[in-house]
Amino acid sequence: MTALLLTGIAWAHDGAGSPPVWTAAEPRRYAIQARVSLPLFMRLDTGFNREARMVGYDLRLVTTCTAQPGPEPCESCGRGPTPNQEVLCLLDDVAFSATGMVQDEGRLQPIVTRIDELLTGSVVQLQVRRDGRLANIDLEGLERRNQVVGAFIENLRLIISRGFAGLDFAAPPEDEQSWVQYDNWLMRLPVASGSIGGSEIVHRTAGESDDLIVVESGGRALIVPANSANQYDSRMYGMTAVDREHDQILERTWTVIGVPTASSHIAFGTAGYAYMQDGWLRALEQGETWDVGQSVELADGWHVQQQTAIQAGASLGASPR
């Protein structure tokens, strides 16, 4: 793991009167990649008679994030002593590639091209807590003109969130070599109704130098999509490079694998279908670029799981149907 520019999320410890985690002094740029294999399909319907069922995707993007002024602490206004900080991330360049159900072969290329066009130049809104943790991820600036398009845009938000979830990293307590983080954004499924269940990730200092700390992370969660008959026993492992002086993320990698429990509907008569994430992000130096590549339809089998009729019985994400 290579330490790059000292730019990233600057952590602040909890407490009344603590300064904002992000400052508006200078934008921060990131290169982000998230490869995701879904246990169930996600319906992508652009609203122009173009529809396909996606079961895996590769998201690559370059983003510029800028903190917004305020808000100021205000007990009487309901914001409390430590209100969340709003950070707007412009998607400078995006490549989105995907693979679908075998029956939909050849139907995804115009859809991934359209997704590339929509996401490039759009804005992701982050709500960041004063301790550096993510409170919410939203996608701004896309018109939801009807129910079909609204469901499509919600699915784009869920797709994007798998990349930005890598920014959800707990600050190390002072003078501690290990610490625990609960309710991590990485331990979620891209479902419109949300995921329930607890998660616990243990971080520990794995290496140090004069200007760098390397953090090793591992944990588990029971991911339970709301209104679903499936549960996923999940494991996470990752490494993070942190600037020692400013407590800022320089680079992070992560892997999450979730296996359906024996009682899950999707596991009946089979070993079940795993939910897998493989992600990476790093801060970019001023003037540095990263080639995100092209948006293409990926070949069947890219996500390494064999599809059966069980997967066609339910879906993830939002659907107007």
- pLDDT tens for 24-57 read 667 889 999 999 998 888 889 887 778 898 999 9
Q: Which residue is listed with tokens 């790093």?
A: 282
Q: Tell me what pLDDT residue 26 has.
A: 77
Q: Which helix (H) or strand (E) holds 27?
A: none
Q: Is residue 14 part of a domain?
A: no
Residue 205 structure tokens: 């200092």
Q: Is residue 11 part of a domain?
A: no
- pLDDT tens for 187-228 read 998 887 777 778 999 999 999 888 888 999 999 999 988 778
Q: Is residue 2 part of a domain?
A: no
Considering only CA atoms, which of 179, 156, 159 is closest in space to residue 169? Answer: 179
Supply the CATH number for residue 136's domain.
2.30.230
- Domain range spanning residue 118? 28-316
Percent of the chain, pLDDT > 90? 44
Q: First and final CA of the chain: distance in angstroms? A: 45
Task: State the pLDDT confidence band at 238, using cuts at 50, 70 and 90.
Answer: very high
Collapsing DSSP to helix, strand or coil, 110 comes out as: helix
Residue 198 and residue 217 in contact, taking contact as beta carbons nearer than 8 Å: no
Q: Is residue 184 part of a domain?
A: yes
Cα–Cα distance measured from residue 22 to residue 67, given in angstroms and rounded to the nearest whole number: 6
CA angle 266/270/273 to nearest 5° reads 50
- pLDDT tens for 115-125 read 999 999 999 99
Instruction: Say which amino acid occupies 281.
Output: L
Residue 155 and residue 44 in contact, taking contact as beta carbons nearer than 8 Å: yes
Cα–Cα distance measured from residue 83 to residue 81, given in angstroms and rounded to the nearest whole number: 6
Domains contained in the chain, number: 1
pTM: 0.86
Q: Is residue 8 part of a domain?
A: no
Q: Tell me what pLDDT residue 18 has.
A: 47
Q: Which residue did the predictor score with more confidence, 262 or 309?
A: 262
Task: State the pLDDT confidence band at 74, using cuts at 50, 70 and 90.
Answer: low
Q: Which residue is listed with tokens 């982050």?
A: 126
Instruction: Say which amino acid occupies 153.
Output: I
Cα–Cα distance measured from residue 187 to residue 258, given in angstroms and rounded to the nearest whole number: 9
Q: Is residue 70 part of a domain?
A: yes
Residue 10 structure tokens: 């600057």
Q: Is residue 321 part of a domain?
A: no
Q: Which helix (H) or strand (E) holds 132?
A: none
Q: Is residue 7 part of a domain?
A: no
- pLDDT tens for 177-186 read 899 999 899 9
Q: Which residue did the predictor score with more confidence, 307 or 175?
A: 175
Is pLDDT at 306 greater than 60 in this prediction? Answer: no
Q: Tell me what pLDDT residue 112 has.
A: 95
